[in-house]
Amino acid sequence: MVEIPIIDLSTFTNGNATTRQTVVKQIYQACHEIGFMYLQNPGISPDLIDQIFIQSKSFFNLPLELKQQQAWSDEYSNTGYVGMERERLDPNKPGDLKEAFNIDKDKSAQNPHILAFYDACTELANTVLEGLALALELPADFFTTRHNQQNHTLRLLHYPPLQTSPKPGQVRAGEHSDYGSITLLFQDEIGGLEVQTVEGKWIAAAAIPGTVVVNTGDLMQRWTNHVFCSTKHRVMLPSDSRVKHSRYSVAFFCHPNDEIEIACLESCQKERIPIYAPILAGEYLLSRLQTTYSTP
């Protein structure tokens, strides 16, 4: 049975050379074998995490007409409110039973709590990116320098209680992989996240208190020639009374600078020729967003 590993990040951030190398190997194994990991001691204040969930619930409790005033309308900015069923992560299924609010670096500056959380996530992401670089025997700053424009998206997510029967095949978030380099995910206790293993089986990625879920995305998979995998995942509807409760989560999607060319790393060509042609990070993100959103 494949399990998502739990890695203590403090032994990387505060450890000596030996313990750091142990964590680097754990990160490599997690990203290579399943593309997901739980990070213990991520270095983000629990109070700060609690505050972002409070802010999220406050926003989603607003009347729909107020939320729609901030609707997502421009894929070039990828910010704003995304209403129920507007996003279709699995293009072969009905729209997702969720609503979201996307925030970039500039938007986060309008709210001190959100800005503090955005900055904390950026710092954590840079630590993870450093670990990934070392795992690939690259300079420690290889990925962080290519993410230094902070083109990241903070996404508040709300999965409302189910009021009516879903459409055939409809779930809270359809099967998909993430578009960028890495994702940080904070989730509540309601659950529903599932991850697909290499063998094609779906396993639960339940919330573990005190941890952050981290997964590698499409651009990291392209960069590394599938050494690190971008794993399919989804959010299912609970089959018990939890379906009557809201589920909240917060995702921090990390994207390289738009002009960075994502081309197969030399160190990842030892066993196979490059699978993908080079592409600019910004072009890839735009192409994926255009196919994900249905018209308002």
Longest pairwise C-alpha distance within the chain: 55
Domain 6-292 class, CATH top level: mainly beta
**Amino acid 77: pLDDT:** 67
pLDDT digits (tens, 9 = 90+) for 49-69: 999 999 999 999 999 999 999
Q: What is the mean pLDDT of residues 151-159?
A: 96
Q: What is the mean pLDDT of the chain?
A: 92
- Checking if the pLDDT of 205 tops 80, the result is yes
Q: From its phi and psi, is residue 220 left (phi > 0), alpha (psi between -120 and 50) or beta?
A: alpha
DSSP assignment of 218-271 equals HHHHHHTTTSS----EEEPPPSSGGGGS-EEEEEEEE---TT-EE---GGG-SS
Please say whether the beta carbons of 192 and 159 come within 8 A.
yes
Q: What is the mean pLDDT of residues 71-79?
A: 75
Give pTM, 2 decimals.
0.94
Burial class of residue 236 (count of CB atoms within 10 Å of its CB; 0-12, 13-18, 19+): middle
Beta strand 36-40 with 211-216 is antiparallel
| φ and ψ of 88, to 5 deg | -130, 85
Tokens of 204: 């639960």
Q: Which of 142, 147, 131 is nearest to 30 (CA)?
A: 131
Q: What is the mean pLDDT of residues 229-233?
A: 96
Amino acid in position 68? Q
Please say whether the beta carbons of 103 and 95 come within 8 A.
no
| Three-class DSSP category at 188 | coil
Q: Give the Cα separation of 198 and 189 in Å (integer).
A: 26
Q: Give the Cα separation of 254 and 251 in Å (integer).
A: 10
**Amino acid 165: pLDDT:** 87
Q: Give the Cα separation of 104 and 110 in Å (integer).
A: 11
Res. 2 pLDDT band, cuts 50 70 90? low
Distance of CA 182 to the CA centre of its chain: 6
Q: From its phi and psi, is residue 52 left (phi > 0), alpha (psi between -120 and 50) or beta?
A: alpha
Q: Provide, rounded to the nearest whole percent, the portion of the chain with pLDDT above 70.
A: 96
The DSSP call for residue 71 is B
**Amino acid 293: pLDDT:** 63
pLDDT digits (tens, 9 = 90+) for 79-111: 899 999 888 888 889 999 999 999 999 988 889
